[in-house]
Amino acid sequence: MTSQELFANICRKKSFLCVGLDTDLKKIPQHLLNEEDPIFAFNKAIIDATADLCVAYKPNLAFYESLGVTGWQALEKTVNYIRENYPDQFLIADAKRGDIGNTSEMYARTFFQHFNFDSVTVAPYMGEDSVKPFLGYEGKWVILLALTSNKGSHDFQFTQDEGGERLFEKVLRKSQEWGSTDTLMYVVGATQGSMFADIRKVAPEHFLLVPGVGAQGGDLNEVCKYGLNSKCGLIVNSSRQILYAAKDETFAEAARCEAGKVQADMEAILRSNNLIG
Ligand SMILES: O=c1ccn([C@@H]2O[C@H](COP(=O)(O)O)[C@@H](O)[C@H]2O)c(=O)[nH]1
């Protein structure tokens, strides 16, 4: 998918919501545990209930890998289900990978060839040769961690060099030598608020994947005030707030209701910024 196609989907659906599929056996409704594949049954119901309200899905690999083979099978079924039934969705593997070149090549093959994801989150710490193998696939994206949503983001990411450049700014600036606005996005946490203004000084055109609204307390309006660009430029993720809105048989309906609230806020923001009519 190109950035232009992504923006077209955002305008058509009046939404830049990504539903995070952080599916946890301990949190899904009890009655689903009788299903042959409870994780897939839950994901399928959530996807069917929210697909018209969002432009992306983001399974976090930790939730699947922690279950071994059954987790990988549920992930594969989920990806294939979205591809077959909702082909306009942008699919993000939140895997936070990156290693020496030949190992990164294997990770890239996993997410782009074995699984047909559109994008994978990658950690920038090991530098250019650890990121570039992910950038060799036509139509696929690297989503590089820049400024994360957690408290620990302050441990390293704000560190300054002698010239005053902060580490997250260096990641944004340097990595633009490796990919384009059609192959590279950045993770910036919604909890970083007005820092989006600084991000936009270094990366004005790139799409940003923004986790941290909902359960982590990030403010959608603040993110948009500082982070929106002329092509929207934002995919905002919410996982727990949508997935676990109800714990009983009404869970899919409740998830739809939560996703609908976020979509309505996004529609108002897109309209007031003249991005949709
Ligand atoms: O900086 C980051 C990077 C990734 N995440 C991931 O996004 C979701 C957020 O889930 P919520 O339930 O909406 O809080 C989750 O998969 C994280 O691992 C992040 O939160 N912050």
Could you give the ipTM of this predicted complex?
Answer: 0.99
Mutate to test the pocket of ligand 1, among 23, 50, 60, 186 (most ligand atoms within 8 A of CB): 60
* Residue nearest ligand 1's atom 10 by CA: 239
199-225 burial: b if 16+ Cβ within 10 Å, else e:
bbebbeebbbbbbbbbbbebebebbbe
187 C-beta closer than 6 A to ligand 1:
yes
179 C-beta closer than 6 A to ligand 1:
no
Q: 146-188 pLDDT, tens per residue?
A: 999 999 999 999 999 999 999 999 999 999 999 999 999 999 9
Measured CA to CA, the distance from residue 49 to residue 42 in angstroms comes to 11
* Residue nearest ligand 1's atom 21 by CA: 149
What's the gap in Å between 162 CA and the centre of ligand 1? Answer: 32
Residue 205 domain flag:
yes
Closest CA to 169 of 143, 138, 198: 198
Our count of domains for the chain comes to 1
What's the gap in Å between 263 CA and the centre of ligand 1? Answer: 19
Query: Residue 63 CA: which ligand 1 atom is closest?
Result: 16
258 C-beta closer than 6 A to ligand 1:
no
Q: 59-96 pLDDT, tens per residue?
A: 999 999 999 999 999 999 999 999 999 999 999 999 99
Three-class DSSP labels, the chain: CCHHHHHHHHHHHCCCEEEEECCCCCCCCHHHHHCCCHHHHHHHHHHHHHHHHCCEEEEEHHHHHCCCHHHHHHHHHHHHHHHHHCCCCEEEEEEEECCCHHHHHHHHHHHHHHCCCCEEEECCCCCHHHHHHHHHCCCCEEEEEEECCCCCHHHHCCCECCCCCEHHHHHHHHHCCCCCCCCEEEEECHHHCCHHHHHHHHCCCCCEEEECEHHHCECHHHHHHHHCECCECEEEEECHHHHCCCCCCCHHHHHHHHHHHHHHHHHHHHHHCCCCC
What's the gap in Å between 56 CA and the centre of ligand 1? Answer: 14
Residue 37 domain flag:
yes
Contact indicator for 206, 231 with CB cutoff of 8 Å: no
Q: What percent of the chain has pLDDT over 70?
A: 100
Closest CA to 121 of 41, 59, 165: 59
Q: Which residues are catalytic?
A: 96
Residue 36 domain flag:
yes
What's the gap in Å between 22 CA and the centre of ligand 1? Answer: 9
**pLDDT given for residue 208 in this prediction:** 98
Q: What are phi and psi of 47, to 5 degrees?
A: -65, -50
Length of the chain: 277
The CATH number given to whatever domain includes residue 47 is 3.20.20.70
**pLDDT given for residue 76 in this prediction:** 98
Query: Residue 188 CA: which ligand 1 atom is closest?
Result: 1
Find residue 237's DSSP bridge partners: 18, 211
Contact indicator for 189, 212 with CB cutoff of 8 Å: yes
Measured CA to CA, the distance from residue 131 to residue 166 in angstroms comes to 20
Joined tokens for residue 238:
């919410």
Measured CA to CA, the distance from residue 141 to residue 184 in angstroms comes to 6
Query: Residue 214 CA: which ligand 1 atom is closest?
Result: 13
pLDDT band for 274, please (50, 70, 90 cuts): very high
Q: 208-239 pLDDT, tens per residue?
A: 999 999 999 999 999 999 999 999 999 999 99
**pLDDT given for residue 15 in this prediction:** 98
What's the gap in Å between 23 CA and the centre of ligand 1? Answer: 13
Predicted TM-score of the model (pTM): 0.98
Residue 277 domain flag:
no
Residue 38 domain flag:
yes
Domain of 54?
Answer: 3-272
**pLDDT given for residue 172 in this prediction:** 98
**pLDDT given for residue 237 in this prediction:** 98
Q: What percent of the chain has pLDDT over 90?
A: 99
Mutate to test the pocket of ligand 1, among 155, 216, 219, 235 (most ligand atoms within 8 A of CB): 216
